[in-house]
């Protein structure tokens, strides 16, 4: 027991006063005998004994009364269990990612957490609130009441390590109380390492009752016909979804197709056929779970002819003329001696077809071409020198040629999941007419093979960057050395290698992935392009980071836009290209909550329980009121003794 005012205890010396008074009242009586009161002698002795008992009782009562009164003024207390934590700074980490849209017993998880904060946070409690998208330093519940009520869901997934880094950036001499409110979807053990062991950390894990969910994952061109696109829309099912899910396709908010999806497994692809022209819309499903992943925005630009040039002997490049038809491509072939380097930067793809020696000037030009978004295809010659090939490869990545080997090899393995073939095959093919080569280079590469020989060495591999690809064959494919030109693989392989997805494919970018995007545009030094929303209910616009690359502009979007939708890329008021942005589908699986990894942490059921626990552990147990009560009790006891004890 401790005292707030221990100096008052000196007044306990006043207890001497009632003792002295008592001793004065207990002086010995002098005996006088009278004959006429002799018969009262026995009664007088008995009365004197009762009076002495009463005085002893009064003395004890008054001593206790005075002692309790003095101790009450000294304010005794028992020290709090966590008295050192009184000065701690409080930080509340609130997960407002899309998975917190899930519904619990009392509504959406995030909205319920906000309501509990508003109801239970003490008005005089200072804290800092950190969410996925916003930060409020050193505030109180009244100051941020409106902001909390208007808090929106964030496209950024819950990353505990990033949020903890923001807390650690606040230098303070005090320890921290950290309250983390999250459904633990996507929470990883490595993220927990970011929690400071000296911090007093509490986890609150709201639970969703409905864990079934259907999400639209992606959209792709399944097949390009003469006048139509056959597009595929991939959906994923989480939990037990037995009901049929309607899916609709909109172009400029106009319904153009609708069908029903019946899940037999966890994934399903639905195909739609649309005209081969500009498309700017979205796919939409209806389910009772998360809403953010029910809509996928995408844009398709009307096909433009691709500029393709091959460099090599005309007789060895004749097969390319058949692949790159005039209705889709502008194809030309040049011998190395007659090549004009100035036309290369205007191409979408360049094919080096069995050039024995590649000049250094051409290597430098090709390096700049790839950096600006052009695709490059390299077919080695049997007369090429290893040093010259490796010098070229050093401009693009870690691929090295080794001396040519003679001997027939069969191409027996296809990487069906590679983007080059992802839309070519409906299913994996085990038996097909294997192409062969009579001689080939062995290449060492850190990149996965697209086509492989029977000995697992690569026949075709690719080095990819965000805006372009470099495809490398390990053998000449002329008819003398290989029958690859007669293989069914020849057309889809070269057709897809020449395509620029950002020019002819589907535009459906993911917010936050920060992938560069190329557009054809000529800008002066003072000109910029701007991104504007094409959706009526939002006026969002922003200026992306941009880099001028001759007749192209490379755009980088960082964490913009804030909302998914269809947008336009504008040069002043001139619409250059339509583009679409979507939220990442990383939190569509509500059932992936990883609460089990929190066994070593303090998991509490509700927000009010956190504040009650902290208040209980850090509040001194004051007992001076009990001494006031005892003072009154002894006062009443004295009165009763005076009245009833004779």
pLDDT along the chain (646 residues), means of 10: 76 79 62 56 56 79 84 73 72 94 89 93 91 92 93 90 91 87 90 87 90 90 82 89 85 91 85 90 89 92 86 91 89 92 90 94 93 91 92 91 92 86 68 85 91 92 88 94 91 86 75 85 86 85 88 87 92 91 90 84 88 70 78 86 76
Domains within the chain, CATH numbers bracketed: 2-79+623-644 (no CATH), 83-208+593-619 (3.40.50.410), 227-300 (2.60.40), 306-503 (3.40.50.880), 504-582 (2.60.40.10)
* CA dist., res. 616 & res. 618, Å (int): 6
Listed in order, strand segments (DSSP E) in 68-134 are: 76-78, 89-94, 103-104, 107-108, 127-131
CA dist 359 → 309, 339, 376, 564 (Å):
17, 12, 16, 47
Q: Which residue has the tokens 């030094």?
A: 525
**Whole-number pLDDT of residue 522:** 84
Q: Are 428 and 463 in contact (CB under 8 A)?
A: no
Q: Are 495 and 471 in contact (CB under 8 A)?
A: no
User: Exposed (0-12), middle (13-18) or buried (19+): which is 538, by Cβ within 10 Å?
Assistant: middle
Task: Tell me which H or E stretch contains 451.
Answer: strand 449-453
Model's pTM, two decimal places?
Answer: 0.74
**Whole-number pLDDT of residue 31:** 60
**Whole-number pLDDT of residue 479:** 92
Closest by CA to 106, choosing from 92, 116, 98, 91, is: 116
**Whole-number pLDDT of residue 504:** 61
Q: What is the largest CA-CA distance in the chain?
A: 163
**Whole-number pLDDT of residue 630:** 85
**Whole-number pLDDT of residue 41:** 54
Q: Are 120 and 141 in contact (CB under 8 A)?
A: no
- Residue 395: CB partners within 8 Å, gap ≥ 6? 363, 366, 367, 370
Q: Which residue has the tokens 């969410």?
A: 131
Helices 386-393 and 360-371: crossing angle, nearest 10°? Answer: 30
């Amino acid at each position: 027991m401790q005292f707030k005012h221990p100096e008052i205890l000196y007044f306990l010396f006043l207890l001497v006063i009632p003792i002295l008074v008592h001793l004065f009242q207990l002086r010995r009586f002098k005996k006088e005998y009278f004959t006429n009161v002799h018969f009262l002698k026995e009664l007088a002795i008995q009365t004197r004994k009762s009076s002495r008992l009463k005085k002893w009782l009064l003395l004890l009562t008054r001593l206790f009364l005075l002692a309790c009164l003095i101790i009450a003024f000294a304010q005794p207390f028992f020290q709090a269990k966590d008295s050192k934590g009184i000065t701690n700074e409080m930080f509340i980490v609130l997960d407002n990612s899309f998975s917190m849209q899930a519904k619990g017993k009392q509504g959406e998880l995030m909205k319920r957490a906000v309501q509990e904060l508003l109801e239970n946070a003490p008005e005089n409690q200072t804290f800092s609130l950190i969410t996925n998208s916003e930060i409020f330093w050193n505030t109180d519940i009244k100051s941020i009441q409106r902001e909390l009520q208007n808090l929106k869901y964030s496209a950024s997934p819950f990353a505990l390590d990033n949020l903890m880094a923001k807390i650690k950036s606040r230098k303070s001499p005090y320890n921290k109380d950290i309250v983390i409110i999250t459904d633990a979807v996507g929470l990883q053990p490595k993220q927990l390492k970011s929690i400071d062991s000296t911090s007093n950390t509490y986890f609150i894990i709201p639970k969703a009752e409905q864990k079934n969910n259907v999400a639209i994952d992606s959209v792709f061109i399944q097949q390009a016909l003469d006048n139509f696109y056959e597009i595929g829309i991939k959906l994923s099912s989480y939990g037990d979804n037995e009901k049929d899910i309607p899916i609709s396709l909109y172009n400029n908010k106009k319904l153009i197709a609708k069908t029903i999806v019946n899940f037999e497994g966890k994934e399903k692809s639905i195909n739609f056929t649309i005209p081969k022209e500009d498309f700017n819309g979205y796919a939409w499903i209806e389910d009772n779970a998360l809403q953010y992943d029910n809509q996928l925005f995408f844009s398709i630009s009307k096909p433009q002819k691709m500029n393709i040039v091959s460099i090599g002997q005309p007789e060895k490049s004749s097969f390319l003329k058949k692949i790159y038809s005039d209705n889709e491509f502008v194809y030309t072939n040049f011998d190395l001696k007659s090549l004009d380097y100035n036309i290369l930067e205007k191409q979408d793809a360049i094919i080096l077809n069995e050039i024995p020696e590649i000049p250094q000037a051409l290597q430098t030009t090709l390096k700049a071409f790839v950096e600006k978004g052009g695709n490059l295809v390299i077919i080695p010659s049997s007369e090429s020198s290893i040093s010259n090939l490796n010098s070229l490869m050093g401009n693009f990545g870690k691929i090295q040629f080794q001396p040519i080997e003679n001997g027939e090899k069969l191409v027996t393995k296809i990487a069906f999941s590679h983007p080059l073939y992802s839309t070519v095959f409906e299913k994996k093919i085990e038996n097909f007419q294997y192409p062969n080569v009579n001689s080939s280079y062995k290449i060492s590469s850190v990149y996965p093979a697209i086509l492989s020989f029977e000995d697992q060495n690569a026949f075709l591999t690719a080095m990819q960057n965000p805006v372009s690809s470099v495809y490398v064959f390990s053998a000449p494919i002329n008819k003398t050395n290989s029958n690859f030109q007669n293989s069914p693989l020849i057309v889809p392989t070269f057709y897809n290698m020449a395509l620029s997805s950002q020019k002819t494919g589907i535009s459906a970018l993911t917010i936050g992935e920060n992938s560069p995007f190329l557009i054809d545009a000529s800008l002066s030094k003072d000109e910029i392009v701007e991104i504007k929303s094409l959706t009526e209910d939002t006026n969002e616009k922003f200026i992306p980071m941009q880099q001028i690359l001759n007749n192209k502009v490379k755009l980088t979007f960082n964490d913009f836009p804030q909302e998914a939708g269809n947008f336009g890329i504008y040069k002043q008021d001139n619409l250059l290209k339509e583009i679409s942005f979507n939220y990442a589908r990383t939190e569509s699986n509500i059932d992936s909550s990883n609460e089990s990894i929190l066994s070593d942490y303090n998991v509490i059921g509700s927000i009010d329980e956190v504040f009650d626990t902290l208040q209980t552990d850090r509040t001194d147990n004051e007992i001076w009121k009990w001494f006031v009560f005892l003072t009154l009790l002894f006062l009443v006891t004295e009165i009763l003794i005076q009245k009833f004890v004779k």
